[in-house]
Amino acid sequence: MKAIKIREKEVIDLFKGKKAIVIGERDGVQGPAIAQCLVAAGAEIAYVTTECFV
Amino acid sequence: MSVVVKDCSYVLVHVPNFVRYGSKPYRDICVSDGPGGELEKRIYHRVRSYEEALAYPPNQVYIGNLHPDELNHIPQPWYEHPISGAKRHGRFGEVLPEEEFYGWIKIADDFDLVWLTPGFIEKIKERVSSNPFLKEGDLKKLGPGVSPERIAEKIERDGALPLYDSGTLVGSIRRDHEMDDSLKAHVLLENLLAKASGALVMHHLFRRASLKPDEVDFILSCSEEAVGDRYNRGGGSLSKAIGEMCHCNNATGHDIKAFCAAPLHAILDAASLVEAGVFQHVVVVGGGCLAKIGMKYSSHLKHQMPILEDVLAGIAFLIGKDDGINPIIRLDCIGKHPIGAGSNQQAIMTSLVVKPLNKIGKKMMDIDRYATELHNPEVTLPAGSGNTPYINYKLMGALAAMGGEISPASIEEFVKTKGMPGFAPTQGHVPAAVPFLGHALEAMREGKMGSALFVAKGSLFLGRMSQLSDGMSFLLERNPKNEGHKDS
């Protein structure tokens, strides 16, 4: 249990102080979903979009 | 009362000389060395002949001469394994050559936007006249033509776009307002090509369904264009324009916009109108999309392969009251992607597949086949865009595994038996599951298939008004009253 908590802390700090530009893909992972993960990892989202490549 | 899909049709129009006007090639040519420059020459070095496009296996599947499953037995790349003796006409429609399509474009033009030279009109007249769908009144619209000098002047001084046949200038399309982006030549060309190819596929529908145009009550266009003007961009209505060209004198209609999911929205709207008793015969029609032509040309050039996005595609469906023969649209099993469902793929697919089936007490494995977005992977993979149908089928298989219906080890088997290879041109709305509808319709009429779920997504976020995507699905089932064809 302790080890898991340490990993969570590491993840939370992974993008601390970083700004992120997020480009998602319609059939893969969409932009807002990636952005949510990055926010959870401490990032500030500068721009988020999803593109369609077909 | 039940609602059925009474018939459907599919056409392709080979448009090699319009590849330069697809959105991506057009923009790239403009910012590189311009028309006639090196990039345009490189593109035209890789554009296919009509015979090559005709014999391309996915195109033969699209017009109904092959079943999608047969692609599993043709080695890839398919463009190196053409179908021997490929036919122009298939069970569902045809592959129209460009020369003849020029006649359709001119006939679709009610505002003298398109000028063709007298010599070119003479060249195409006989072939256009021999088309069984075009009547004397239509053919009169070809007119005598306009001199090459006047055409050259229109292009030089008035913002008209040149039109070519085998690389030779044979005409032009003009703008209809100096300051209106919605009426500039390139946009009008997009709209006109959607109208002309939409009319072609609708004529095929009437012939297949033995339906008189006057019997149509309502038309829903799910084409990808934005007909309108500066005060109402995208206002429409292509549906009535196509209906007029097909002599549907008793019909009205409107256009459905939902990005790539539009055909499914339109079919469900049509089915609802019939179910409610508002209209008896509703036609859903989608004309071809010029903007998507040559979209991935640069990857195709990089891989030294033919530019495969060289066909406009058309789709048409006739929705009507239960006739005891044709397959039923289960209006109690509609899948939608609600605003609050979230944007991850699992949430989307659960909304479109699992939830509607659960609503009528069915499991995923109860359904015979799934049709998802059937983009031809040979077009998308070289561009790094992935194999869309395979990705979607794999996710569906994973959902079946999560539901305990199959083991995780059986996901590939699910993909193989419940899915199919992509075979549709990457025309946006066209691959939206419905290219399989014709094959499903025939299999269900013959008692060879019981059910198929049609699933498509739309990329609403591309319009920059929302980060949301969209999706719709519907279940098609063999008509239980079709006693003539029991399980084979």
Residue-wise pLDDT for B443-457, tens only, equals: 999 999 999 999 999
Percent with pLDDT over 90 in chain B: 96
Q: What's the pLDDT at B65?
A: 98
d(CA B391, CA B410): 15
The model's pLDDT over B121-165, given as tens digits with 9 standing for 90+, comes to: 999 999 999 999 999 999 999 999 999 999 999 999 999 999 999
- The pLDDT tens digits of the residues spanning B254-279 come to 999 999 999 999 999 999 999 999 99
Contact A28 B391 (CB under 8 A): yes
Answer yes or no: do A27 and B392 touch at CB < 8 A.
Answer: yes
**Closest chain B C-alpha to A5 CA, distance in angstroms:** 26
Nearest CA in chain A to B431: A54
Alpha carbon of A50: minimum distance to chain B alpha carbons (Å):
7
pLDDT (0 to 100) of residue A10:
72
What is the 8-class DSSP label of residue B351? I
Q: What is the pTM of this model?
A: 0.95
Scanning every residue of chain A, which has its alpha carbon at the shortest distance from the alpha carbon of B389?
A27
CB contact under 8 A, B375 and A50: no
Residues of B in contact with A52 (CB under 8 A): 260, 459, 462
Is there a domain that residue B468 lies in? yes
Q: Which of A27-36, B71-80, B410-419, B435-444 shows the lowest per-residue confidence on average (mean pLDDT)?
A: A27-36
Whether residue B487 is predicted with pLDDT greater than 70 in this model: the reply is no
Give the model's pLDDT for residue A11. 72
Indicate the residue of B384, B431, B469 with minimum beta-carbon distance to A26: B469
CATH (domain of B372): 3.40.47
pLDDT at B345 over 80: yes
Indicate yes or no: CB of B380 within 8 angstroms of CB of A30. no
pLDDT score recorded for residue A6: 60
A33 contacts in chain B (CB < 8 Å): 342-344
- Please write down the HEC assignment for all residues of chain B: CCEEEEEEEEEEEECHHHHHHCHHHHHHHHHCCCCCCHHHHHHHHCECCHHHHHHCHHHHHHCCCCCHHHHHHCCCCHHHCCCCCCCCECCCEEEECHHHHHHHHHHHCCCCCEEECHHHHHHHHHHHHCCCCCCHHHHHCCCCCCCHHHHHHHHHHHCCEEEEECCEEEEEECCCCCCCHHHCHHHHHHHHHHHHHHHHHHHHHHHHHCCCHHHCCEEEECCCCCCCECCECCCCCHHHHHHHHCCCCCCEEEECCECECHHHHHHHHHHHHHHCCCCCCEEEEECCCHHHCCCCHHHHHHCCCCECCCEEEEEEEEEEECCCCCCEEEEEEEEECCHHHCCCHHHHHHHHHHHHHHHCCCCHHHCCEEECECECHHHHHHHCCCCHHHHHHHHHHHHHHHCCCCCHHHHHHHHHHHCCCCCECCCCCCCECHHHHHHHHHHHHCCCCCEEEEEEEECHHHHCCCCCCEEEEEEEECCCCCCCCCCC
* pLDDT at B383 > cutoff 80: yes
Residue of A nearest to B469 (CA): A26
Q: What is the rounded distance in angstroms from the CA atom of residue B27 to the CA atom of residue B186?
A: 11
pLDDT-based confidence at B2, cuts 50/70/90?
A: very high
- Residue B332 domain-assigned? yes
Tell me what the pLDDT averaged over chain B comes to.
96
Closest listed residue to residue B422, CA positions, set B441, B435, B437: B435
Lowest average pLDDT, out of A2-16, B145-159, B386-400, goes to A2-16
What pLDDT does residue B484 have?
62
Share above pLDDT 70 across residues of chain A, in percent, rounded to a whole number: 83
Q: 3-state class of A4 per DSSP?
A: helix
**CB-based contacts of B356, cutoff 8 Å, min separation 6:** B333, B334, B335, B453, B473, B475
In a domain, B392, yes or no: yes
What is the C-alpha separation between B139 and B129, in angstroms, rounded?
Answer: 7
B44 belongs to a structural domain: no
* Helical H segments across B32-179, by residue range: 38-45, 50-55, 57-62, 98-108, 118-129, 136-140, 148-158
pLDDT tens readout for residues B279-289: 999 999 999 99
> Both ends of chain A: CA-CA distance in Å?
44
Cα-Cα-Cα-Cα torsion B130, B132, B133, B139, nearest 10 degrees, comes to 30
Residue B488's pLDDT is what?
38
State the helix-helix crossing angle for B98-108 and B118-129, rounded to 10 degrees: 100
Considering only CB atoms, which chain A residues are within 8 Å of B388?
27, 54
- A26/B375 CB distance under 8 A: no
Average pLDDT over residues A50-54: 86
Question: B404 lies in a domain?
Answer: yes
Residue B22: inside a domain = no
Q: Is residue B390 part of a domain?
A: yes
Residue B218's pLDDT band (boundaries 50, 70, 90)?
A: very high
SS3 category, B321: strand
Closest CA to B313 of B202, B420, B424, B208: B424
Q: Assess whether pLDDT exceeds 80 at residue B486.
A: no
Query: How confident is the model over B348-378, as pLDDT tens digits?
Result: 999 999 999 999 999 999 999 999 999 999 9
DSSP secondary structure letter of residue B352: I
Predicted local distance difference test score (pLDDT) of residue B128:
98
Structural domains of chain B, count: 1
Cα–Cα distance, B414 to B429 (Å, whole number): 25
B76-112 CB burial, b ≥16 within 10 A, e <16: eebbeebbeebeeebebbbbbbbbbbbbbbbbbbeee
User: Where is pLDDT greater, at B153 or A9?
Assistant: B153
* Residue-range definition of the domain harbouring residue B437: 328-477
ipTM of the complex: 0.77
Q: How many residues does chain A have?
A: 54
pLDDT at B330 over 80: yes
Question: Do B462 and A30 lie within an 8 Å CB cutoff?
Answer: no
Please state the rounded mean pLDDT for residues B401-430.
98
- Chain A hits for B373, Cβ within 8 Å: 54
* pLDDT surpassing 50 at residue A1: no
For the beta carbon of residue B340, count every other beta carbon within 10 angstroms. 7
